[in-house]
Amino acid sequence: MDNVGMTVRRRSGAARAIFFGVSSLVVAASARATWVWCASMETTGGTPMPGGWTMSALWTPMCGRTWFDAAVSFAGKWNAMMVAMMLPAVAPALWRYFEALRNERAARAGGMTVTAASGYFLVWLAVGMLVFAAGAQLTALAVAAPALTHTAPTLAGVVVVMAGVWQFSAWKARWLACCANVPPGAHARLDVQTALRHGLRFGRHCVCCCGNLMAALLAAGVMDRPAMALVAAAIAAERWVPGGAKVSRAVGAAAIVAGLAMVARAVAA
């Protein structure tokens, strides 16, 4: 019995190492793709706007391209960014899901886990399409009403402050607890539809939990690589570091300070 137990633990340890090793490679590849994307957008440049900020070319079609082309391009870049940012935070939950399924039928556990992860990132893709539509509309508004662009840096700082305040809310605490305790699906049917539904549900929980931090990233600049890294680290830490509620409040306090600094800089400019 002891030998059997040691064998099981050894196999579980090997499976865990493979799972997180593959996850790390996916994160690294996505981070690299995101880095290249940001560098290419910096090379492309943008349009200087009143108020001392630059309107990114991200929200408009490139010369000779259609709006559909622009949306597809944005979707690919957004997906790469979301995998790089969110997979470190959700990998432990996906591992729990994989383990629960493996106890039922090991041969299909990997495929069902990939399907669940696809459902999770499908939710973030839908969010990305809404972000693109909003960004395109705001870009058109900035072109049509240049006088409003003076307030954009101040409004961005206000959004970051509001995102920080939201970290202290009961809503945030409730959804953070939901994300940390998503049922692993131990008794779920082993089929694609069930796995996809599990991933979609987890994705919805995640959007409700950390949507405020993503809003802060968008306000600070979606191509701001240090901001991406900080937001990704904050999302992972508030879920998996012991005392996540305290971490969440610390993140909120830091966001408030950063947002106020952005407002002060914009007012002084």
The pLDDT tens digits of the residues spanning 21-33 come to: 999 999 999 999 9
Residue 115: closest CA among 84, 90, 94, 145: 94
Strand (E) positions, the chain? Answer: 46-49, 53-56
pLDDT of residue 3: 47
Residue 120: closest CA among 15, 199, 55, 237: 199
Of 105-114, 131-140, 227-236, the range with the lowest mean pLDDT is 105-114
Identify the three-state secondary structure at position 133: helix
Residue 50, pLDDT > 70, answer no
Q: Averaged over 99-121, what is the pLDDT?
A: 83
Q: What percent of the chain has pLDDT over 90?
A: 46
pLDDT in tens, 114-147: 999 999 999 999 999 999 999 888 888 877 777 7
Residue 135: closest CA among 75, 223, 58, 43: 58
d(CA 251, CA 96): 26
Q: What percent of the chain has pLDDT over 70?
A: 84
pLDDT of residue 203: 93
pLDDT of residue 180: 67
Residue 165, pLDDT > 80, answer yes
The pTM of this model reads 0.86
* More confident site: 189 or 157: 157
pLDDT of residue 106: 61
Q: Averaged over 104-109, what is the pLDDT?
A: 68
